[in-house]
Structure formats: C-alpha cells, structure tokens
C-alpha cells in the first residue's frame, strides 16, 4: 500500500487550566441535570393545588391518577387534560385520599416504582462529584509538575531545526540579488567540499551579515544557502534569546551552538540580530545587563570555533505629530517630535542621525527589584534624561495602535514598553497584540492590594521657587540701546537720519536729545500704574494666570469676562490682582447681558500675562515654569482654568474645554505627571450656534480635558487611591500606508522616552548601524553582504519567480511590468502579483491580465483608488494640472515617455502622471535634472495659463522641484557658484547611516547666494514650462478634455492625441556628448 495515501488522524487534548475548569463546570451542570431528570422525570401539564386536585377526583372528573413519589399526575376524562400536584412528603397516598373522603378503590390509581432510580441517584450523587474533583486536581498537579520541569528547560534554545535535505528553497527561488548569491555560493561550496579549502589552509567562514532594506530577500537568501548546501539549518530570532531569568540568554546561545556542532556542518540563522547585538555600554543597566551577557556569549562562541566545526552564522521608527516633553537651556517645552527633530536638519539633508548637546526629554528612572527580581526592570518615576542624537527617515507604512485612552502611530520595528508580572518588557509594535498593557502616566502598581497600592508619577522639587521679571528685559535693552545711540550721535547725524535708523519719529529723537522724556518701554513714568520690577511666583499668581487663560484677553489692556452668576470668582480675581500687582480695575462693564467684564488699562500687565500664557484663545498655553513647580502651584492654575472653562457634574466628574490644543495637551501631561489620570478628546462645535443671542458662530475644532470622580483634583475622598484606574490596554493594531518622515530620539538614558497626547513610554528604535564593532570584525562576521533594491533586470527575474503557479494571459509583458515597478522590493513585487490575483478572482476571471497587474502596482505604490466625489471645477483643475505635466514631459528631449495619466484619487493625491524610466540610470546629467524640474512645474504652469489662478495641488511638485534645484547648487556643483560642496560635512558608517555631521558653516552672504541660484534654476524651468504649454495650448485642452471624460489615459491613447515622442539623431548625439562631458 502506498504510505502517502494513508491518512493518519490524531486526537489531542488541549489540557490547559482554563479548559480543565470549563469542562469540569460543564460536567457538574450536566450531572445536575441528569440527576434532576432521574428524580423528577418529565413534567408536562398544568400544576394545580392539592385541594383542587382532590375535589376533581371526588367529583369524578379524573380518569387516572399516577403516583411518582410525592408527585401526583392526574389524567382527566375530557380532552385528555393532564394536571400535576404534590402531596406532603412522607404522607401515604391512601391517607391523603381517605382524609378527603375518597375511596381508593373508586378511582384508577397507579403507583410508579422509583426504587431503582433512587439507588442510581444516591450512587451518582456521591461518586461522580468525587470523581470529577479527583480528575480536576490530577490535571492541576500535572500542570504544576510541567511548569516545575520547564524551569530546567529555560536554558534550552528555541531554535527551529530544518533537517538536512528538508529545505526546498534553493538559489533558483531567489532572484534580483546576483552579487549576494555569488558571495554566498562560495560559502555553500565550502560546506560541500571543505577539504578543497582546508588543503590550502583556508578556515571556515565564521559568519555572514546580510544587510539591506526590508523585503529584499535576506531571510529567503539564508534559507536558500541551507537548501543548496544540504546541511542542517537552525533559525532563531534575536528577541527569543531574552528571558526574565538572568543568564538564560547566554545559556540559550551555548545550547544553540552545541546543537549546531552536533549536526555539523550546519547553519545558524539569527533574524533581527540587532535585538541582542547592539553596541555595548548603552543598555538599561549600564554595561552589565542581560542583553550584553547574551552578546558576550555569542562573541565567545563564534570566535572559539576551530576550522573543523563547520558552523556558519547568518544574521539579518513614531510619526511627526507625536508630542514629547523637551528641556533645553533650562526651558521646558511640549512640542511634536517632528518639529523638534526637523529643527536640527538643514534643507540639504533629508534623513539620518545628528548628535545634539545639552538636550533632555522626559524619560524614566528605574526601580530596583528585590532578591530574585533584582535584574528585572521596574518603573520608579518619570524624569528628564539626556538625548545623544536625533534621527529621522522616510517610510511608506506605519502601524496605528489604538489603546484605552488614545492612539499612537509608529513603525513596526519601533518598540514600546509593556507591563508584565515581572516588570517592564520591550515589544516591537508589529508584534503587539490586543490586551497588551502599555506604560503610561500615572503608573499604578499593586492594584488589587489596598495596603501596597501605589501611584508613581513625576517627582517635583518641593522647595522650588522662582521670581519673574515683570517687564520685558530684552525689549528694555533694545530701547535702551536706541536711546543711547540717539544721544551719542547728536552731533554726527541729523535728527531725521537718526530717526530713520532707530525707527521712530524725528520729534521723538528731538525730545530724547533734549532730555525730554525717555522711550516708553523703559520709562516707568509713562504708565498709569506703578508695578514692581520682579514678581515672585506663588500659588495665587498661578490661579490668576489660570483665570487669564480661561477668561482673559490682552492687547493694550487686560479684559476678564465672567458670567454674572460667578460673583465669587470676580471678587477672587480682583483681590488677587490687588494683592499681587497692587492695582484696582479701571472699569467694570456690564454691557453684554449675563456677562461682566473686569478691565485693567495696564499694558505692562497685558504684556506680562501674554508672555507667559499666550495671546488669543487659540494660542493660550500653560506657563512653562509649571513643568517644574510643585503640585500646589499647578493645582491653583488648574483651578483658575477650570472655574473659567470647566464644569463638574453631581457625581464629581469634571471637564475643561478650550479651542487651544496646546493648552489641553499641556494640562493633560501635567495632570498625569502629578498622578491625576485624565483623558483628552476633541469635537466640532455646531455651525450657526449663538451665545446670548449674539451673532451666528462658525464651526470650529475644540478639545476637552476630563477626569473621573476618583481623580477629581478639587475634592479628596476615599476613592482617591483605591479607585481602579483604566490602564492603557491595546484595543486594536492596524497597518496603514504613510508617506513621510518618522522620528526617534537616540541614546536616551534607559533607552526610553514618553510620547503621545497621553504620555506613553516608548523605546528606542532598533538600528542596524548600532551593532557592536566586536561582532562585526573579521573572525566573527567575515563578510558583510549588502542587498540593494532590484534594478529592471532583477525585477524581471523576480516577477518570473513569483509568477509560478499563477495563470496569466499570453500578452502579459514582464519587461513592461518591470519598467512600471521602479522602486519595488522583492516583497513588494510578490504582494503586487498577489493583489492582481485577488483582483482577477473578484472580477470572476480565470486568468490574470495586464489590467489587473497595472491596477495592483498602482495600489501598492500609491494606494487604492478612491471614488472621491469632486465638483466639476475641481475635476477640471486636476485634469489640466496632470495634462500640464504630461505635455511638458513629452516636449522635453531628455525625459522618458509618459506611461499613464489619471485623475483618479489615490492615497493623498487627486491624480498622477507616471513617467517610468526606460532604463536604469547610474548618473544624472544637469540637462535631465533641469528637465525634471520643468516637468514638475508643468502642473502649476497649466493652472496659471488656463485659470489664471494658483491652487494648493502643486505643493508636492514645488517641494520636489526645490529639493532637486537645491541639490544641484549645494551637492552637485551645477550652478554659477562652481563645483563646491556647500552642504554639511557628514561621516557615514559602513551600514550607510550618518554617524557624525558638522552643521552648515555657510555665511549669511553665501546662504543668500545659494537661495538666489536655487530660485534662478526654478524660475527658468517654470518659464520654460509656460512657453511649452502656450505653444501647445490646443494639445493641452485636448488631453485635459479626454481626461475629464475617461479619467485615465494610457500611453497609446496619449500619443494618439499629441503624437509619438521622438528624439532626433542630432539631439541623441548631443545628449551622448553631454553625458560624456
């Protein structure tokens, strides 16, 4: 019999504690039901009282009486009616009938024997519960024994072994990385024929490091090596070496290499080796943490092999809107990570790493564990930690994590901290699961133990004090310098010349020089009120600032607006202003119904409040010094804001509403840093609403800060500490397309920083260029094989491999497809063909055609098509914009032919014009770069000619054109400034990452020259685009009209409308000569 034809069925019980408990409960319930059925039997019929039943029997209405223990079943003579009644337990049926005056012989009486069922009930009721409990405890003990035995298996590696000859993947299944394959073929030949190399004194290569972008085939290539060599293949991820117990990582390394030696020759593949191979000295616990012990063991194992061992080792970031808290030059600011990191990058450098000095971010201090948990990582409090460098790079997809309390977006390889029973653990975003608990502020521990329960947050300096200058010292110095200049140049310059230089009137200069008065900002006599030069920060001043943030307006005066029902707050405001600044209100107005305005005609006070709290409702913010002030200062500020823009319901829950997002963000962070668990939401106000019968208001975006009754900062009750606080539990994780930069803070102490609208503890991004140098040196990783993005020929080969097993139409041209997939990795190509197969199946086709492949490539590159409803005017503008790109591109001799024009919205764009290169380029010429800029500006030029208007649709085109022009001037020396590199000096690592960058040293004059050269290039290209479109206006209208009708034009249709793009022999020769030069 053919053994392959024999099917084997295997039944396995999943005996985990949860299943044991569930099945035990089911068995008990089933037993109860079964016993109940045995004792009572089926119950059908109406239940009546015993007296009514005896009355019916006496009247002769009952045909039959069935006795089942204490239950009597009566069958009536009419319509087979059945009734049920019950006698007293212990009473005999004969006695019951006799007491009612009924002769037992006069009725049809039947008695059912229940002795056997009673015996079974007694037996099962006694034995079955005992049996079930015995089984339950048997499995519990067995589970505990298994857990006890597993303690001794911690040091065993979790590597997956692919035995010799079981690897079906070979080099034939890998395409597009010919150079890398050639490097690894030598390794394979060494494993197959070691004697040939040993005879010449060559040793076995110890390791090969595969480096390259995601999706280029590093893992696939490693498996192909094992398949070709026919040796054992051990696969293990870098994170799998780590465990909660000290020394486990090193033990697993030893076990893995011992297993590899026993099955030598063999290959060990460590995926994501940067998880354990990072440079030593940057760990959470200094230079002696568990990760470094694991790395040290790898170094020992790899360097300790002899030539006969034949074991080879192969090894393979948050979005810009994320808020972070930065401390720089003793100034603390809450800002987005993108705004912070971008400030260190010049226009010439798009991505990389830049060192920073004396900059701190909000991170955390760790708490030492006790005894066996001493090496575990625990959260003690938040604290400011030094940043060594900032980093940014561009990505095409990110993960969006939705958790209880908010959302955050990050790349899949970025790590976050999660709570475990054994402390904090880092976990990659891509491997997060629903139910994981993130680390946020405040951090509550021992939630279920009231005695040990503790809330950990930020520790503020209780002895903090601060004095603020009341007047603007910088402004005073500037006016003092102007005043002295006017006095010192009394005889050298005329008054009109001095006035023009200083920026005041000639009369003012005349008064100064005659010593009649001083400049207003430095002349305290000018102001109506007398103010002190210094103001000490007190809780009362903070409450006054809170009133201003909620209800204040400042310009030349300060105006506070309260409701007439808030008389207590009005009196509090007046007394605070009198106590702190020594002034009374100049006016108290009651013009608006239901409102009262307290006005102080004091410009210095208006300037003081605007300086520390902002000016205008949308620009209000928390005074920066509150990020260092103790709790009582912040509480009074919060009280002032809450009294003006907040409310509290009967249960004690409260909210504050504002149209300033920055204010609500800062209040949310500060509340959480002080141990108050708050939440933040946003909403749109209703358009047309009126306040006190005033003018209709437009819709606007507003924000709320809220807290529950247990976290109410203005009332102290018993629930304050014991009330359960919602933890940041992950609800949903999804991968979304993204075009832009992502950011990271590198080298932060303890490798963590808080980020997000509600602060979450984030981990530093794992980086390949941070691998320890000792790991990369020859003798461990002898070879570094770099895998690049595939070129056109490589893409064609990859397409043919991934096309295996899929039916395609005969006219599919892989050459054309490879031209349209510029920038695709091998994984992208596989995904594209899979999407094409899904699309064909959705449309009911049996084969995949060119149309499905083209649509899939656009979906992978630009995103899915959106049937966005556009007005005719918008559709017309988009059509002319894309037609402008296409016409200009077709008219330029050095540009490639237009492949497709479409006004179908995809991703964030309303349309696109595809111009794939006809061949891969190694060098770029000045002529081609100039024509690229001209083509990019073709859309804006078409808008200018047709609509005599400018739209925002050209923003991305202008950005790219400016980037190319600036690169031509600064990096490539393609301007009148000559062949000089004017950009920052950057030193790169072997991995291609920036290790060091010298900031730009351009003088203001040279920077101005650079800007003029960039503008000259862009302006000349724009004028050329205008000239082309003016000459080809009829073609422009024709193409735009066709786009409005069809929405998409392929290359053939476009060329039928305007003619085939041709390059004459003279132009071709000129192009070749320019390329040679």
Q: How many whole angstroms separate alpha carbon 786 and alpha carbon 184?
A: 12
683: helix, coil or strand?
strand
Q: How many whole angstroms separate alpha carbon 131 and alpha carbon 419?
A: 40
Q: How many whole angstroms separate alpha carbon 508 and alpha carbon 514?
A: 10
Answer for the pair 954, 943: CB distance below 8 angstroms, yes or no.
yes
DSSP E strand boundaries for 470-544:
534-536
Cα 264 to its chain centre, rounded Å, is 43
1042: helix, coil or strand?
helix
Cα 539 to its chain centre, rounded Å, is 38
* Beta-bridge partners for 326: 333, 361
* 584 Cβ contact list (under 8 Å, min separation 6): 574, 577, 578
Q: How many whole angstroms separate alpha carbon 669 and alpha carbon 627?
A: 9
Closest CA to 853 of 828, 825, 834: 834
- Token couple for 418: 């999660």
Say which DSSP state 847 is in: S
792: helix, coil or strand?
helix
CB atoms within 10 A of CB 507: 10
Closest CA to 535 of 644, 612, 620, 636: 612
Candidates 757, 852, 882, 931; catalytic one = 882
Q: How many whole angstroms separate alpha carbon 1022 and alpha carbon 933?
A: 8
Q: Which residue has the tokens 């999706």?
A: 215
Q: How many whole angstroms separate alpha carbon 1045 and alpha carbon 901?
A: 13
Cα 205 to its chain centre, rounded Å, is 40
600: helix, coil or strand?
strand
Closest CA to 345 of 324, 326, 320: 320
Q: What is the dihedral of CA 653, 658, 660, 662, to 10 degrees?
A: -10
Give the pairing type, strands 783-786 and 207-211. parallel
Answer for the pair 987, 996: CB distance below 8 angstroms, yes or no.
yes
Please state the length of the chain.
1077
Cα 159 to its chain centre, rounded Å, is 30
Give 701: exposed, middle or buried? Use CB within 10 Å, 0-12, 13-18, 19+: exposed
**Nearest-5° Cα angle at 237, 236 to 238:** 120
Give 255: exposed, middle or buried? Use CB within 10 Å, 0-12, 13-18, 19+: middle
Answer for the pair 584, 573: CB distance below 8 angstroms, yes or no.
no
Helix, strand, coil in percent for the chain, rounding step 5: 45, 20, 35
Number of separate helices (H) and strands (E) present in the chain: 32, 42
932: helix, coil or strand?
helix
Give catalytic status of residue 666 as yes or no: no
DSSP H helices, 561-709, are 567-581, 603-613, 631-645, 661-673
Q: How many whole angstroms separate alpha carbon 1035 and alpha carbon 884?
A: 10
Closest CA to 64 of 77, 54, 75: 75
Q: How many whole angstroms separate alpha carbon 1050 and alpha carbon 1073?
A: 32
* Beta-bridge partners for 232: 266
| CA-only gyration radius of the chain, Å | 40
Q: Which residues are catalytic?
A: 882
């Amino acid at each position: 019999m053919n053994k392959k034809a024999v099917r084997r069925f295997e039944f396995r019980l999943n005996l985990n504690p949860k299943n044991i408990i569930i099945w035990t409960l089911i068995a008990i319930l089933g037993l109860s039901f079964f016993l109940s059925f045995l004792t009572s039997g089926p119950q059908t019929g109406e239940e009546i009282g015993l007296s009514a039943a005896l009355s019916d029997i006496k009247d002769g209405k009952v045909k039959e009486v069935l006795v089942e223990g204490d239950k009597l079943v009566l069958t009536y003579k009419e319509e087979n009616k059945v009734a049920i009644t019950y006698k007293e337990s212990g009473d005999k049926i004969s006695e019951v009938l006799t007491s009612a005056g009924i002769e037992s012989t006069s009725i049809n009486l039947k008695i059912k024997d229940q002795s056997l069922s009673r015996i079974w009930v007694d037996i099962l009721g006694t034995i079955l519960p005992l049996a079930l409990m015995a089984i339950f405890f048997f499995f519990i003990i067995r589970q505990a024994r298994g857990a006890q035995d597993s303690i001794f298996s911690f040091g065993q590696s979790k590597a997956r072994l692919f035995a010799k000859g079981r690897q079906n993947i070979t080099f034939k299944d890998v395409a597009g990385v010919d150079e890398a394959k050639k490097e690894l073929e030598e390794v394979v030949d060494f494993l197959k024929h070691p004697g040939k190399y040993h005879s010449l004194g060559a040793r076995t290569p110890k390791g090969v490091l595969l480096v390259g972008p995601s999706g280029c085939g590093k893992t696939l290539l490693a498996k192909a090596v094992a398949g070709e060599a026919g040796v054992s293949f051990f696969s293990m991820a870098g994170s799998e070496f780590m465990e909660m117990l000290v020394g486990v990582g090193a033990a697993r390394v030893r076990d893995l290499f011992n297993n590899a030696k026993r099955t030598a020759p063999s290959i060990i593949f460590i995926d994501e080796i940067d998880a354990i191979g990072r440079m030593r000295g940057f760990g959470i616990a200094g230079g002696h943490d568990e990760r470094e012990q694991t790395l040290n063991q790898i170094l020992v194992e790899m360097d300790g092999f002899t030539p006969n061992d034949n074991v080879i080792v192969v090894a393979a970031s948050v979005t810009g809107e994320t808020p972070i808290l930065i401390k720089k030059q003793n100034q603390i600011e809450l800002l987005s990570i993108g705004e912070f990191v971008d400030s260190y990058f010049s226009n010439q450098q798009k991505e990389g790493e830049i060192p920073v000095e004396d900059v701190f971010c909000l991170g955390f201090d760790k708490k030492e564990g006790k005894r066996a948990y001493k090496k575990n990582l625990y959260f003690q409090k938040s604290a400011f930690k030094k940043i060594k460098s900032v980093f940014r790079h561009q990505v095409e997809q990110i993960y969006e994590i939705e958790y209880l309390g908010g959302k955050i977006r990050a790349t899949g390889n970025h790590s976050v901290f999660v709570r475990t029973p054994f402390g904090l653990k880092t976990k990659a975003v891509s491997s997060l699961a629903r139910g994981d608990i993130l680390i946020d502020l405040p951090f509550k521990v021992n939630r279920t133990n009231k005695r040990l329960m503790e809330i950990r947050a930020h520790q503020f300096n209780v002895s903090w004090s601060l004095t603020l200058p009341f007047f603007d010292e910088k402004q005073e110095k500037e006016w003092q310098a102007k005043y002295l200049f006017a006095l010192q140049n009394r005889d050298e310059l005329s008054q009109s010349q001095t006035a023009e230089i200083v920026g005041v009137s000639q009369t003012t200069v005349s008064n100064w020089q005659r010593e009649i008065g001083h400049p207003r900002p430095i002349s305290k006599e000018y102001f109506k009120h007398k103010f002190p030069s210094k103001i000490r920060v007190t809780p009362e001043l903070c409450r006054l600032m809170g009133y201003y943030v909620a209800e204040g307006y400042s310009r030349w005066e300060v105006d506070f607006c309260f409701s007439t029902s808030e008389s207590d707050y009005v009196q509090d405001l007046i007394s605070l202003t009198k106590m702190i600044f020594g002034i009374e209100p100049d006016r108290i107005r009651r013009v608006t119904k239901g409102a009262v305005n307290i006005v102080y005609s004091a410009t210095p006070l208006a300037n003081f409040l605007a300086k520390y709290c902002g000016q205008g409702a949308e620009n209000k913010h928390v005074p920066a010094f509150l990020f260092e002030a103790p709790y009582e200062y912040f509480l009074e500020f919060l009280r002032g804001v809450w009294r003006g823009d907040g409310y509290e319901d009967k249960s004690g829950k409260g909210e504050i509403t504002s149209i300033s997002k920055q204010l609500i963000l800062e209040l949310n962070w500060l509340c959480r840093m002080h141990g108050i668990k708050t939440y933040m939401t946003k909403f749109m106000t209703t358009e047309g609403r009126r306040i006190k019968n005033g003018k209709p208001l437009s819709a606007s975006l507003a924000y709320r800060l809220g807290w529950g009754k247990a976290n109410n900062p203005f009332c102290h009750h018993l629930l304050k500490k014991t009330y359960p606080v919602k933890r940041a539990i992950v609800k949903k994780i999804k991968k979304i397309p993204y075009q832009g930069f992502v950011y990271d803070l590198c080298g932060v102490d303890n490798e963590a920083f808080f980020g997000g609208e509600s602060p979450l503890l984030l981990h530093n991004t794992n980086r390949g260029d941070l691998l320890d140098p000792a790991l990369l040196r020859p003798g461990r990783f002898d070879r570094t094989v770099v895998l690049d993005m595939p070129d056109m020929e490589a893409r064609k080969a990859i397409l043919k491999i991934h096309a295996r097993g899929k039916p395609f139409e005969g006219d599919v041209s892989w050459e054309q497809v490879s031209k349209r997939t510029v920038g695709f990795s091998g994984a992208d190509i596989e995904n594209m063909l899979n999407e094409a197969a899904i699309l064909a199946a959705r449309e009911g086709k049996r084969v995949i055609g060119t149309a499905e492949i083209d649509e899939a490539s656009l979906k992978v590159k630009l995103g899915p098509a959106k049937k966005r409803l556009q007005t005719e005017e918008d559709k017309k503008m988009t059509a002319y914009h894309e037609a402008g790109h296409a016409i200009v591109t077709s008219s330029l001799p050095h540009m490639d032919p237009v492949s497709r024009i479409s006004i179908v919205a995809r991703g964030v764009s309303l349309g696109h014009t595809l111009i794939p290169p006809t061949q891969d380029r190694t060098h770029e010429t000045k002529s081609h770069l100039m024509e690229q800029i001209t083509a990019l500006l073709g859309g804006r030029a078409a808008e200018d000619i047709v609509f005599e208007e400018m739209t925002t649709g050209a923003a991305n085109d202008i950005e790219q054109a400016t980037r190319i022009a600036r690169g031509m001037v600064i990096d490539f020396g393609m301007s009148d400034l000559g062949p000089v590199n004017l950009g920052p000096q950057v030193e790169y690592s072997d991995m291609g990452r920036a290790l060091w960058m010298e900031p730009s040293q351009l003088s203001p004059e040279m920077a101005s020259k650079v800007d003029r050269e960039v503008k000259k290039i862009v302006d000349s290209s724009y004028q050329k685009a205008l000239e082309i479109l003016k000459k080809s206006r009829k073609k422009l209208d024709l193409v735009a009209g066709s786009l409005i009708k069809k929405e998409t034009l392929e290359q053939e249709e476009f060329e039928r409308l305007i003619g085939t793009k041709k390059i004459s022999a003279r132009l071709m020769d000129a192009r070749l000569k320019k390329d040679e030069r």
